[in-house]
């Protein structure tokens, strides 16, 4: 009789242990899912920020090159006009 009770107790304990393990796995899965989602969001934000900075840097370079070319052409035209003016004297 006691052997049967021990077996029932062991089965009950095994069942409770299995349920507790399933619940723990479920909780861990939820935490992992949340961590992965946060990491994904952080990665997306970092990529967006990097593209934004690259675009801003590109815009700055284009502006600087445009200003340099404009100044160079303007100086060349001014120099040529002065040279022509001296020839006409």
Give pLDDT tens digits for 3-49. 677 787 788 888 899 999 999 999 999 999 999 999 999 999 999 99
Token pair recorded at residue 63? 């502006």
The predicted pLDDT at position 88 comes to 64
Q: Which residue has the tokens 């900075």?
A: 53
Distance CA 42, CA 30 (A): 18
> DSSP class of residue 28?
H
Look at the chain and count its residues: 89
Better-predicted residue by pLDDT, 9 or 70: 70
The predicted pLDDT at position 60 comes to 92
Instruction: Kindly indicate the confidence band of residue 89, based on its pLDDT and cuts at 50, 70 and 90.
Output: low
Distance CA 38, CA 32 (A): 10
Sign of CA dihedral 59, 63, 68, 73: positive
Would you say residue 1 has pLDDT above 60? no
């Amino acid at each position: 009789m006691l052997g049967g009770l021990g077996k029932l107790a062991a089965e009950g304990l095994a069942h409770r242990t299995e349920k507790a393990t399933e619940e723990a796995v479920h909780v861990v899965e939820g935490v992992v899912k949340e961590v992965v989602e946060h990491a994904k969001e952080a990665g997306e934000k970092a990529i967006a920020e990097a593209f934004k900075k690259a675009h801003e840097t590109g815009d700055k370079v284009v502006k600087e090159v445009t200003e340099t070319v404009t100044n160079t052409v303007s100086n060349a035209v001014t120099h040529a006009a002065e040279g022509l003016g001296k020839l006409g004297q």
